[in-house]
Amino acid sequence: MGYDRQIKENETVAANLEKRLQVVLNRLASSEQEEVLTFAEFLAWRRREQVVPTECLSEEEHARIVAALDEVATLSQETGLPVSNRDHDTVRSESSTGTVRTV
């Protein structure tokens, strides 16, 4: 999914949520609406105080970062020499006759 498309989808989701909230608020008494709005403003204020503002990435910077991550993923998919970690599964048992058997 493209970076711009993701931003547009987020904006669409936010607009839909806002419409749904407006429908719910319209069903409440005016005093209840005020309480909900006051609480929402408090939450927004608290979030602004806690969240450090971040700057948006340009399309070029986003593409550069994704390309770097793709390169890392490619490195992790390379195959090398065959490696076995099955040695720990080898169990040796000694029978009553004194012969060693690998299980």
pLDDT given at position 30:
87
Domains in the chain, number: 1
pTM: 0.34
Q: Which domain holds residue 13?
A: 3-79
| pLDDT tens-digit series, residues 1-10 | 577 777 788 8
Residue 39 falls inside a structural domain? yes
The CA distance from 50 to 16, in Å, is: 26
- Is residue 103, in this structure, part of any structural domain at all? no
Whether the pLDDT of residue 44 is over 80: the answer is yes
CB atoms inside a 10 Å sphere around CB 59 = 11
- Read off the tokens for 2: 């493209």
Can you name the residues that pair with 93 across neighbouring β-strands?
A: 101
- Residue pLDDT, tens place only, 79-91: 766 666 665 555 5
